[in-house]
Amino acid sequence: MFAIIKSGGKQYTVKPGDVLKVDSINAEVDSDIQISDVLAVSENGQLNIGKPFVAKAVVTAKVLDQVKDDKILVFKRRRRKDYKSRFGHRSHQTVLKISDIKVG
């Protein structure tokens, strides 16, 4: 059994027991969250695709940690104009462990 969920504008394929990093979710560590933006669910070999979401499908996940991603460096330059700019940032991310996928 697997599901395709939407979180933070991105899509993830998940199975029970998977650990994944998603964009920051406002939730406390060791709390359970429910993701209702389920785009597709595969159950017993049957693929159920939503329009756009599968009705009454919920993915339950546990928040393991709130972390920061690797640093990304951004360098801007204009040729012949003596303009250079360099900066970086680290995105906040949430580590989730998928515990259950329910349909209906």
Q: Domain range holding 10?
A: 2-103
**pLDDT at 14 (0 to 100):** 96
Helix boundaries (H) for 11-76: none
Q: Please write the tens of the pLDDT for every residue from 54-96.
A: 999 999 999 999 999 999 999 999 999 999 999 999 999 999 9
Q: Is 77 helix (H, G, I), strand (E, B) or coil?
A: strand
> Quick count: other Cβ atoms within 10 Å of Cβ 36?
13
pLDDT at 104 over 90: no
The dihedral built from the CA positions of residue 30, 104, 36 and 14, taken in this order, carries a sign that is positive
CA 58 – CA 6 distance, rounded (Å):
12
* Predicted TM-score of the model (pTM): 0.84
Q: How many domains does the chain have?
A: 1
Closest listed residue to residue 35, CA positions, set 104, 93, 86, 100: 100
Q: Over pLDDT 90: what percentage of the chain?
A: 96
